[in-house]
Chain A
Amino acid sequence: MFELVEHTAAINKQLARYGVRFGIYKNNEFHEQLFPFDTIPRVIPADEFDFLEKGLIQRVNALNAFLADIYSEKKILKDGIVPEEFVYSSSGYLPQCEGIVPPAGIFSHISGIDLVQAETGEWYILEDNLRIPSGASYPLIARELTRRVCPDVFYVNKIRDNRNYGELLRETMEAVNCGGIRVILTPGRYNAAFFEHSYLAEKTDSILAMPQDLYVEDNVVYYRSYDGKPQRVGVIYRRISDEYLDPLTFLPESVIGVPHLMDAYKAGNVAIMNTPGNGVADDKGIYYFVPKMIQYYLNEEPILKNAPTYLPMYEEDKAYVLENLEKLVIKDVAEAGGYGVIFGRDLNAENLQEMKDLICREPRRFIAQEIIYFKDLTTMENGAAVERKADLRAFVLTGKTTKVWASGLTRFSRNPESFVVNSSQGGGFKDTWVLSR
């Protein structure tokens, strides 16, 4: 696979040609950046992927069961497995979604599960993304282009083809389609992930729609067609945050969104994927309870492990965190995208004390985790092979069944000192090869 390295420039040129970019805002200005691609892939052997696949399916099925329960009977709260305050104080919990049963009972259709492999080789779940996880399009198009440049590498290595993501996504959309066209709803071209929105619309043969293209009449969603003949919409893969989906239900001051969309959804006339309100299950605090959910809903032992996590709202955990802060990583549960992540070892004595005071004042705001020493991946930098931290976002799709895409987005840090791999913080990406034997 190292034969790919000499083609790095050619492949990145191809990626630029196809507009593989992500947007970031700096000083209130929108900039589009190329997402640096490293040709050396992450390679997952077949048996290791089989193990991950089982664990990921199990986890996502439990998370779906949790969401179904939280917005209906709340048995898990009544049985004291998850403390109520963790649910009701979560910004991802939306009371407006209480009692709504989504089409086919599926809440998280596309789950982006972030994993890391420790130096020991053991995999840990780092976080669950059940709202609008992005990133599948990057390895998808990178594979397409890399195959053109180095066909022999793919022939020799027997890699599972990942180019079926569009098909898997379309199947997932069709599994919940309430009768109508498929739409991918984007806030617009200045969204950070607009490339992905438009690319997935192409790959799933769906309509790429902006909020103003949709309207609701008699609890049915229509696409505003230029010829005056409205098209009924059966499923919306929305890439807009919950709070901007419908100004009449969520943020009234929002100028985007589709008025009455939630009414159509409640009436069962349209599927929204992922379902609004999923944020309650991918909250960094709720993460702690996912292994318990697996035991509770599936009566199984968790196959994949969480990173060892402490919740300062529990006195015992708080005492441990305060005692060991310098060797832990602290995460603000309200932040995402690599922001709000603080390594205790990077703080001086004064800042360490400030952090401890903050944790004591707002224990629900933070979680603390043992630092997982990631297995470094070889990456090319200025013509030299270097070792860099990397994670893996696996994509798990739930339609008629739950399936794991045999690939994933491997993001790596370009800063040798950093564990933060997010593209918004300067990281690059790799393809993820799953071997077929």
Chain B
Amino acid sequence: MGAISLEKSQQMYWLGRYTERVFTTLQAYNILFDETVDERQVLYDKFCHAMGIPDVYGSQAAFFENFLFDAKDNSSVVSSLERAFDNAVVLRDEISSESLSYIHLAIDQMQAARTSKERLLDLQVVMDYLYAFWGSVDDRADSEVCRNLMKCGRYVERMDLYVRLRFSHAEVERAYYKLRGRIGKTGLLYQEEKLDYIGECIVTEEALNENRQKALSCLAQLFS
């Protein structure tokens, strides 16, 4: 029927952020895990530092287990997925039951992955469900506002994680322009000068390497 409350607008934005967080951290986790094939010991504590999360794990083995599955750890992937669900479940009328079902499937798949012998392959399916979720919302949500808010949330989160986790300059730049193109369509009040400054911080690979913290700080203040 077209009307969206302030609370729902926030839920859409955070739904975008949390689903992106699950997706991108799983991507990063895969890369980190892959390094153990050659190195056996990886610097997971540096990963935590880059993510801006406390290293509460104590060992590499504990990290690889708990960062994924410990629901009591607010930084874990499963926690982010549950927060995504918290936001999605109250938006059924906007995003459709069909879209919401992909979040349910992702949660079930996450649980299945915990005891799986092919854990990474099962986690890949979680990512597949998130792709399906985004596609479904794009296709089924009637409200353009809903789609814009969710995408804006996704791109803010993506920028944040790509910068933190040292994704390539090309990927960061692509994320930036996606955010830039979307944010103006949401109707949200944001600080344009901060957005411009982020653009300057990432204009070249060298600039990005020098200005990561500045870019992150501006991103955090985008809506303040």
Whether A226 lies near B9 (C-beta < 8 A) is yes
Whether B5 lies near A209 (C-beta < 8 A) is yes
Interface check A223, CB cutoff 8 A: yes
**Most chain A CB neighbours (cut-off 10 Å) among B4, B9, B187:** B4
Find A225's partner among B4, B92, B108 (CB 8 Å cutoff): B4
A210 to B6, CA, bound (A): 11
Write the nearest CB–CB distance from A66 to chain B, whole angstroms.
Answer: 34
A19 to B86, CA, bound (A): 12
Asked whether A231 and B3 contact (CB < 8 A) given A18-B97, A18-B101, the answer is: yes
Interface check A208, CB cutoff 8 A: yes
Whether B3 lies near A202 (C-beta < 8 A) is no
Interface check A17, CB cutoff 8 A: yes
Whether A181 lies near B1 (C-beta < 8 A) is yes
Whether B93 lies near A202 (C-beta < 8 A) is yes
Binding site secondary structure of chain A:
mixed
Asked whether A223 and B97 contact (CB < 8 A) given A19-B104, A189-B89, A208-B90, the answer is: no
Q: Given the complex, which residues of A lie within 8 Å of B93, measured CB to CB? A: 184, 198, 201-202, 206-208
Q: Given the complex, which residues of B lie within 8 Å of A417, measured CB to CB? A: none
Query: Number of A residues whose C-beta is below 8 Å from B?
Result: 29
When C-beta atoms are compared, the residue in chain A nearest to B88 turns out to be A19
A224 to B10, CA, bound (A): 13
**Most chain B CB neighbours (cut-off 10 Å) among A199, A210, A213, A226:** A226
Whether B3 lies near A223 (C-beta < 8 A) is yes
Asked whether A182 and B97 contact (CB < 8 A) given A189-B89, A198-B89, A226-B8, the answer is: no
Whether B3 lies near A207 (C-beta < 8 A) is yes
Interface check A241, CB cutoff 8 A: no
Whether B1 lies near A202 (C-beta < 8 A) is no
Whether B7 lies near A212 (C-beta < 8 A) is yes
Within A324-359, which residues are at the interface with B (CB < 8 Å)?
A: none
When C-beta atoms are compared, the residue in chain A nearest to B95 turns out to be A202
Q: B83-127 interface mask toward A, CB cutoff 8 Å, 1 = contact, 0 = none?
A: 000100110110011001100110010000000000000000000
A208 to B187, CA, bound (A): 21
Write the nearest CB–CB distance from B139 to chain A, whole angstroms.
Answer: 15
Q: A176-209 interface mask toward B, CB cutoff 8 Å, 1 = contact, 0 = none?
A: 0000011010001100001000110110011111
A202 to B98, CA, bound (A): 11
Whether B108 lies near A16 (C-beta < 8 A) is yes
Binding site secondary structure of chain B:
helix
A401 to B144, CA, bound (A): 36
A189 to B89, CA, bound (A): 8
Interface check A323, CB cutoff 8 A: no
Asked whether A17 and B104 contact (CB < 8 A) given A198-B90, A199-B97, A208-B92, the answer is: yes
Q: A3-40 interface mask toward B, CB cutoff 8 Å, 1 = contact, 0 = none?
A: 00000000000001111000000000000000000000
Asked whether A198 and B92 contact (CB < 8 A) given A17-B104, A17-B105, the answer is: yes
When C-beta atoms are compared, the residue in chain B nearest to A141 turns out to be B97
A202 to B101, CA, bound (A): 14
Whether B7 lies near A207 (C-beta < 8 A) is no
Write the nearest CB–CB distance from A81 to chain B, whole angstroms.
Answer: 43
A227 to B2, CA, bound (A): 11
Asked whether A225 and B5 contact (CB < 8 A) given A198-B89, A201-B92, the answer is: yes
Q: Given the complex, which residues of B lie within 8 Å of A202, measured CB to CB? A: 92-93, 96-97
A202 to B92, CA, bound (A): 7
**Most chain A CB neighbours (cut-off 10 Å) among B1, B7, B8:** B1
A351 to B96, CA, bound (A): 52
A259 to B4, CA, bound (A): 21
Q: Given the complex, which residues of B lie within 8 Å of A206, measured CB to CB? A: 1, 93
A144 to B83, CA, bound (A): 29
A207 to B7, CA, bound (A): 13
Q: Given the complex, which residues of A lie within 8 Å of B5, measured CB to CB? A: 209-210, 213, 223-226
In order of increasing CB-CB distance, the 9 nearest A-B pairs are: A201-B93, A198-B92, A226-B9, A213-B5, A231-B3, A208-B93, A226-B6, A17-B101, A202-B93
Pick 8 A–B contacts, CB within 8 A, sort by A. A16-B108, A18-B101, A19-B100, A141-B97, A198-B90, A208-B93, A223-B5, A225-B3
Contact surface of B with A, Cβ cutoff 8 Å = 1-9, 86, 89-90, 92-93, 96-97, 100-101, 104-105, 108, 145, 187
